[in-house]
Amino acid sequence: MRNHLRLLLVSLAALSPGLCARGQSDAGPNCVLRASPGPLATFGGPATAGRGQTELGLGLGIYGEGFPNPCDIDVSSASNWFVRWRRGIASDADLGFDAEFANQADGTMVGTTKVAGRLEAGRGLRLEGGIGTSDGGDGRSVSADLAAEIGTNRLPQYTWNYYASLQVAASHGCFNPLCFPGQGAPGSRYPGAIFPLGTLGSTARFSNVGRFVMEAGLGEHISRQQPSSGYYVHLAFGVQFIVGKNRTAQPDPKTGESGYF
């Protein structure tokens, strides 16, 4: 519990200019240096963009990581901004991309993007997956992720809606962003990792096409090439717009209320 509280405090403090958000521990391996995953934000409820619709999202966030001994850095954090575009290709499926840019505490910038698809598998249930690449300047990777999300999307009757998701991502370090054959500088190929993550969030409708989005996630990053797993927490806030042809609302069989559940 103490480690979780410390992570949350460091992440919130990362919003303050000039903070040195990395704490030094005993000398040991640098566990911060591991292949980055693609964007991990769920960013919205379980509905997809319907046929003829486009979803646009823009978010800001912070995240923190904790690394137990014997890592030489025990806490790290960064701020980031996030862009999403999805286009409906069927009544219950969409396709698009996410992009995220993180400004880390040491001044370095990491850019990551992925192509992703989503499918409404049932009322209030969405499945999604993506493949992506990242470039941190001296460390590059490819990645893939799968997620399942449940929640409500009761529009336009209710202003507030809620969602929860479980996600797992895997990353593989490379010498170049697409892992083409080649060589790089010693130490520039970071260890791959697995990232299980749980997220809770809510949306608040402010217009017929716009919603505020707020979410928090907590998970781990696990690498066979590092001595122990670390913790990961993120907070994200942003806006989401659904534009294009309106979907037809469907009544809930139990309550009779109409909405895109």
**Tokens 């890592």, residue located:** 71
- d(C-alpha 97, C-alpha 137), whole Å: 21
pLDDT category at 30 given cuts 50, 70, 90 is: low
- d(C-alpha 142, C-alpha 112), whole Å: 9
- d(C-alpha 150, C-alpha 145), whole Å: 17
More confident residue, 216 or 71: 216
Averaged pLDDT, 94-112: 87
Beta-carbon contacts of residue 140 (< 8 Å; ≥ 6 apart): 35, 133, 134, 173, 174, 175, 176, 177, 188
Q: H or E element: which one contains 98?
A: strand 93-104
Which among 56, 177, 176 is positioned nearest to 114, based on CA atoms?
Answer: 177
Averaged pLDDT, 120-145: 89
- d(C-alpha 232, C-alpha 75), whole Å: 10
Averaged pLDDT, 72-83: 79
Averaged pLDDT, 89-112: 89
- Provide the 3-class DSSP secondary structure of residue 13: helix
How many CA atoms lie within 13 Å of 12's alpha carbon, on the beta-carbon side? Answer: 6
Residue 23 has pLDDT above 50, yes or no: no
Domains in the chain, please, with CATH? 2-259 (2.40.160.20)
pLDDT at 138 (0 to 100): 57
pLDDT at 140 (0 to 100): 85
Out of 76-80, 140-144, 218-222, least confident range: 76-80
Strand extents, DSSP E, 105-159: 109-122, 125-135, 140-151
Task: Report yes or no: 114 and 97 within 8 Å, Cβ to Cβ.
Answer: yes
More confident residue, 209 or 247: 209
pLDDT at 246 (0 to 100): 63
Dig out the tokens for 126 from the structure. 């969405």
As a whole number of Å, the end-to-end CA separation of the chain is 35
- d(C-alpha 196, C-alpha 88), whole Å: 27
Out of 26-30, 160-164, 180-184, least confident range: 26-30
**What is 225-253 written as a DSSP string?**
TSSS-EEEEEEEEEEEEEEESPPPPEE-T
Which among 75, 29, 58 is positioned nearest to 226, based on CA atoms?
Answer: 29
Averaged pLDDT, 45-62: 94
Give residue-wise pLDDT tens across range 210-260: 999 999 999 998 887 766 778 889 999 999 999 987 655 455 454 444 444
pLDDT category at 60 given cuts 50, 70, 90 is: very high
pLDDT at 135 (0 to 100): 86
Range ranked top by mean pLDDT from 8-22, 53-67, 179-193? 53-67
pLDDT at 69 (0 to 100): 65
Residue 46 has pLDDT above 60, yes or no: yes
Is the pTM here over 0.85, yes or no? no
